Copies of this chain bind each other. A is one copy, B any other.
Amino acid sequence: MMTVADIVGRIGRVARWEPDARGRLAEAALELYAERGYEQTTVADIAGRAGLTERTFFRHYADKREVLFGGPMPELVEAALREAPAGEGALAVGRLAMLAAAGALPPERRPFARKRQAVIDATPALQERELLKLDSFARLIDRALTARGEEPAVSRIVAETSVALFKVAFAAWIDGDGGNDLTTLTEGAFVALGRVSAG
């Protein structure tokens, strides 16, 4: 089976936190969302807190929501699906896609991800946006598996199950003590599914 390192290597991209204008804006936005609430924070507030202009903000993010949803995860999922070896079974392909998603959140991103999650948990509209994002990954996996010749029923089940397992791993990563990285937790969820559905 391919590892996430293989995938990241193949697509020549490493998702990492860059402490530049983009990163400063994201940190400032999260601080303000946590302090005042998401709704009460404006782009001007965020730019001000980061010591940058609104124009700079809009060079990096389309709007204040994109600060929370503008990460490389969808591209990494798509790349993993494109690059998944022809011989892999359906669940193995779903697993590769979700390991690629996990690769978008290396350990050093955990403090940001935790703050982001706290903001999302406090804002129903953002919770719904987050669910819709996960749902879009299921649709990507479903489409890729169907294109690989899997039965539609199998494609859908694997797609939804893979995303469900990633959700579980992500929650464990956010809520846990940081001892396990997201990739390990995602692997673990796929292994646990095998145990649960056999037992």
A residues near B, CB below 8 A? Answer: 89-91, 124-125, 127-129, 131-132, 135, 153-154, 156-158, 160-161, 163-165, 167-168, 171-172, 188-189, 192-194, 196-199
Contact of A198 among B128, B188, B198 (CB under 8 A): B198
Flag if B154 contacts A192 (CB, 8 Å). yes
For A91, list chain B residues within 8 Å (CB): 196-197, 199
**Option from B89, B90, B125, B153 in Cβ contact (under 8 Å) with A168:** B153
Looking across the interface, which residue of chain B has its beta carbon closest to that of A189?
Answer: B157
With A128-B131, A194-B197, A198-B198 in contact, do A160 and B167 touch (Cβ < 8 Å)?
A: yes
Docked CA distance A160–B172 (Å): 13
The answer to whether A192 touches B153 (Cβ under 8 A) is yes
Question: Once the chains bind, are B197 and A154 in contact (CB under 8 Å)?
Answer: no
Residue from the list B128, B156, B157, B160 in contact with A132, Cβ < 8 A:
B128
The answer to whether A193 and B161 touch (CB under 8 A), given A168-B156, A171-B156, is yes
Q: Report the Cα distance A73→B59, complex, angstroms.
A: 46
A157 touches B196 (CB 8 A): yes
Chain B residues with CB under 8 Å of A189's CB are 153, 157
